Structure formats: structure tokens, C-alpha cells
């Protein structure tokens, strides 16, 4: 039996080619056809015989798809009814402008939780589990429209990545220049995270120079590390204070799209420091 993540991926594929209004029955048929291409399990379908004109999802998979469909409604990816005739409702629906932007993204999108998280693990084999705990929390909160919670968890994840990077740099410096390492660690020991980050930015250009001598994949590395951590930190600070300011969903979405690139860049430097 297919897991809900596989069915969600198929559903997103179908939404990508959905133009104008559609009806749930056609959506379900499209998901069944997409799942048929990747599933070898006959129990995924109610009529999996070779002579079946159109495959049909099994009752269990239909239930999973209904859960996914209503989660898409909740997230604003699809809208019930007809954009021209607003009095129409379920089973009619259409993909919202926001939904089209999401499903047309070339990268793994946070609406597909497991693929998003698995993609990070696949690209960063030695990623710290604390980072993953917080980014998983951020993605889950995002998919429940808890934008403030998502931003706070994302900020915690990005800050943990930076702290690991800073410690790796100190250990690297200890091997190459022990005196400078002691001086740097003593200087930054009692600093706030913002201050630590500002100090690290001062040495980052020199680090990139050293990185370039042994690695070719250095393009935009300095920009990604310095820019995105600052964005994540500022957004987290805004969300973490009771200012009443609304965090727009598209800002959270953009941050989640950027996070894998930030984390991958950070780990390039961490792995460089560790040799």
C-alpha cells in the first residue's frame, strides 16, 4: 500500500498540469494514473488488471487522497468552486495563483514534507539531528498555516547550523594557528549570536579564499552563508516578539525554499574545516 507521501507527490504532479476548474473525480483519476507509473503493488489499486481501461485507487488510497486534497484546500493551494461562477463548490475546484507558483517550482517544495526533508538529508549526509528536528517542525507548522511558529523553528534550525560552523572553524584554527584560535574563541565566548555572526562575517572572506584553493564549488558561497542566516535570524526575531506583526505565508515559503541551499553551503564549509 502506497504511503501518503507518495500519493501527495502524485497529487502535486496532477495539480501542475491542471488548468482552469477541475472536478475531484478527474483529480483522483489523474493521481491513480501517476501512482500506477511508480507502484508495483497491486493492492494500491481497486482494478489493477491488464484489461482495466482506467486504474482506480484502492479504498485505503482514496482515503489518503481525500486527506491530502483537504490539506491543499487548507493551505490555499487549491480553492473550492469555480473562479468564474463562485456559487459552485465541491467537487469543483481550481488551483490558486499561489498554488500555481508552488507546484511550478523546480525544486522540492515544503508542501511535500517528506520529500523536502529527505532531499536535505540526501544532499547533506552528515547533517546534525537538531537541525533536522527544527526544520521538520518548521515545515509541519508551515503546512498547518502556523507561519509564526514556522519562522521561529526555521530560525532555530539555521542558528544551530551556524553554531556548528563556528565551532568547526575554531577547531580548524586550533590546528593551523593555535594562538589565533584561542584569541578568537575568548573574544566571542560571551557574545550574543548576532555578535558572533558579525565576527564570523569578518573572517569569512579569508575562509572563502582558503576554500577556493581546494574546491571549485565556491560560487556564491560567501553570499549564501552571510545573507540567508541574517534573513532567517531577523525573521525569527520579528516573529518571536509579541509585536502583532503578521508574517506573510509567501515569506515563510520563500525562506523554506532558501534553507536547503543555505544549509548545504554551511556544510561545505564545515566539511572543509574538518578536512
Q: Domain map of the chain by residue range?
A: 4-103, 113-274
Instruction: State the pLDDT confidence band at 49, using cuts at 50, 70 and 90.
Output: very low
Tens of pLDDT, residues 12-47: 999 999 988 899 999 999 999 999 999 888 888 887
Q: Look at residue 108 in the predicted model and tell me its pLDDT.
A: 67
Per the prediction, the chain carries an average pLDDT of: 87
25 or 215, which is more confident: 25
How many of the other CB atoms lie within 10 Å of CB of 249? 15
196, containing H or E segment: helix 193-212
Length of the chain in residues, anyone?
Answer: 275
Q: Distance between CA atoms of 130 and 50, rounded to whole angstroms?
A: 48
- What cell numbers appear for 273 in the block? 574545516
Residue in the structure block whose three cell numbers are 526544520? 135
Q: Smallest Cα–Cα separation from 211: which of 261, 258, 161, 165?
A: 165
Tens of pLDDT, residues 76-121: 889 998 877 767 788 999 998 888 888 887 556 788 888 889 999 9
Long-range contacts, stretch 75-80, CB < 8 angstroms, 24+ apart = 75/111, 75/143, 75/145, 76/145, 76/249, 77/15, 77/102, 77/103, 77/111, 78/15
pTM: 0.71
CA separation (Å) from 169 to 166, 178, 185, 274? 5, 12, 10, 9
Q: Distance between CA atoms of 275 and 215, rounded to whole angstroms?
A: 12
pLDDT of residue 239 exceeding 80, the answer is no
pLDDT of residue 48 exceeding 80, the answer is no
Amino acid at each position: 500500500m502506497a504511503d501518503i507521501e507518495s500519493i501527495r507527490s502524485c497529487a502535486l504532479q496532477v495539480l501542475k498540469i491542471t488548468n482552469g476548474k477541475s472536478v475531484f473525480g478527474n483529480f483522483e483519476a489523474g493521481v491513480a494514473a501517476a501512482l500506477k507509473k511508480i507502484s508495483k503493488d497491486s493492492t494500491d489499486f481497486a482494478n489493477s488488471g491488464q484489461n482495466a481501461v482506467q486504474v482506480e485507487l484502492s479504498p485505503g488510497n482514496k482515503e489518503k487522497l481525500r486527506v491530502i486534497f483537504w490539506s491543499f484546500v487548507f493551505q490555499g493551494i487549491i480553492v473550492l468552486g469555480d473562479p468564474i461562477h463562485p456559487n459552485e463548490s465541491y467537487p469543483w475546484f481550481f488551483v490558486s495563483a499561489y498554488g500555481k507558483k508552488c507546484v511550478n517550482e523546480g525544486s522540492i517544495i515544503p508542501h511535500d514534507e517528506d520529500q523536502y526533508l529527505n532531499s536535505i538529508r540526501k544532499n547533506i549526509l552528515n547533517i546534525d539531528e537538531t537541525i533536522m528536528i527544527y526544520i521538520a517542525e518548521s515545515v509541519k507548522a508551515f503546512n498547518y498555516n502556523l507561519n509564526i511558529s514556522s519562522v521561529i523553528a526555521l530560525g532555530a534550525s539555521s542558528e544551530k547550523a551556524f553554531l556548528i560552523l563556528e565551532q568547526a572553524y575554531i577547531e580548524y584554527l586550533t590546528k593551523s594557528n593555535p594562538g589565533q584560535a584561542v584569541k578568537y574563541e575568548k573574544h566571542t565566548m560571551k557574545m550574543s549570536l548576532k555578535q558572533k555572526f558579525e565576527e564570523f562575517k569578518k573572517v569569512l572572506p579569508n575562509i572563502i579564499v582558503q576554500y577556493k584553493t581546494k574546491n571549485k564549488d565556491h560560487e556564491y558561497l560567501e553570499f549564501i552563508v552571510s545573507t540567508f542566516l541574517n534573513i532567517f535570524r531577523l525573521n525569527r526575531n520579528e516573529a518571536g516578539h509579541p509585536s502583532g506583526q503578521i508574517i506573510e505565508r509567501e515569506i515563510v515559503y520563500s525562506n523554506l525554499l532558501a534553507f536547503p541551499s543555505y544549509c548545504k553551503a554551511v556544510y561545505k564549509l564545515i566539511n572543509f574545516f574538518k578536512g
